[in-house]
Amino acid sequence: MVRRRGPLLLMFSLLLAALAAWVANQWLAARVVAAPAPAQEQVVVAAIDIPLGTKIEERHLSAISMLPGQAPKGSFHSASDVIGKVASSSLISGEIVLAPRLADSAGGSSLASVVDKTMRAVTVRVDDVVGVAGFLLPGNRVDVIATEKDGLGTQVRASTILSNVKVLAVDQTAASDNKQPVVVHAVTLEVTPADAEILLKGKTAGAIQLTLRNPLDESDARTPRPEPPKAAAVKAPTPVKVVAPEVMVLRGTQLMRTGTAIALSGQPH
């Protein structure tokens, strides 16, 4: 009889434990208030790759949800704030669109919107050699080497006149999505007004050659210009002493010189 009672008590204990667990779970569930999901905000991203100089359209954009305060500074929350602007640098698909990466079109061409306020766009004619065999793409950095013959035409002088110049466009495109080499006939460079004069002078005086730079190289490769010869020191002229003329007056046996009487030993002349 005792042996039969043991298993029954064990089963009864397990049943009570399960019942207690269920009651406790129901009691806790009734008192736990579901926390509301935090509100999220929409952030504008690039839906596709957007090349440099592209005017933004609705098809270029998408949106993602982010927690409040997590969006980077300069981001946009509405696609209408981005449509119509021009990409001043290339954007990849899924990248958050930031204000510093865009420029206002201001009703002008897309290339004019990409040019910095303090810079100028200058186009130079090139061939397949000057254009680095067609490997130049918008956004690349180049150095400009000018060659010039001397007066006799027997010697050629080469010097790097501009360094770390940004390529804005090749031919009539500012897009850099083409990864295959293309022979171009013109390259548009972004230079300062002073560098624009240097570039045009170098092209007029001789020929120019573009050399492609590594994008991580920030060094200045310009050839140092020779210092102008120092002008010889000019000596100040020695002041000339002006001597007042003497006036001689002969009166009898006396000679008057500049108002001073000089005795002539009483000998008449």
Q: What is the pLDDT of residues 219-230, one digit of tens each?
A: 888 888 766 666
Over pLDDT 90: what percentage of the chain?
22
pLDDT at 114: 79
Sketch out the chain's domains with CATH numbers: 41-112 (3.90.1210.10), 118-212 (no CATH)
**Letter for the amino acid at 61?**
L
Residue 11: Cβ-neighbour burial (10 angstroms; 0-12, 13-18, 19+): exposed
pLDDT in tens, 124-147: 887 766 566 667 888 889 999 988
Q: Which of helix, strand or coil describes residue 79?
A: helix
pLDDT of residue 230: 66
pLDDT at 180: 60
Give buried/exposed letters for 162-191 (b at 16+ CB in 10 A, else e). Answer: bbebbbbbbeebbbbeeeeebebeebbbbb
Q: How much of the chain, in percent, has pLDDT values that exceed 70?
A: 69
CB-CB neighbours of 234 under 10 Å: 6
- Strands (E) across the chain are located at 41-46, 61-66, 86-87, 102-103, 120-125, 141-149, 156-170, 186-191, 207-212, 248-251, 254-257, 260-263
Confidence of residue 175 (pLDDT cuts 50, 70, 90): low
Contact 73, 56 (CB under 8 A): no
Flag whether pLDDT at 51 surpasses 90.
Answer: no
Position 184 scores a pLDDT of 74
CA 167/CA 140 separation, integer angstroms: 5
Tokens at residue 243, please? Answer: 């001597």
Render pLDDT for 235-264 as a digit per residue (tens, 0 to 9): 666 676 666 566 665 566 665 555 444 444
d(CA 20, CA 104): 69
Quick one: how many helices (H) and strands (E) in the chain?
Answer: 3, 12
Tell me: pLDDT of 9 over 80.
no
Cα 243 to chain centroid, rounded: 70
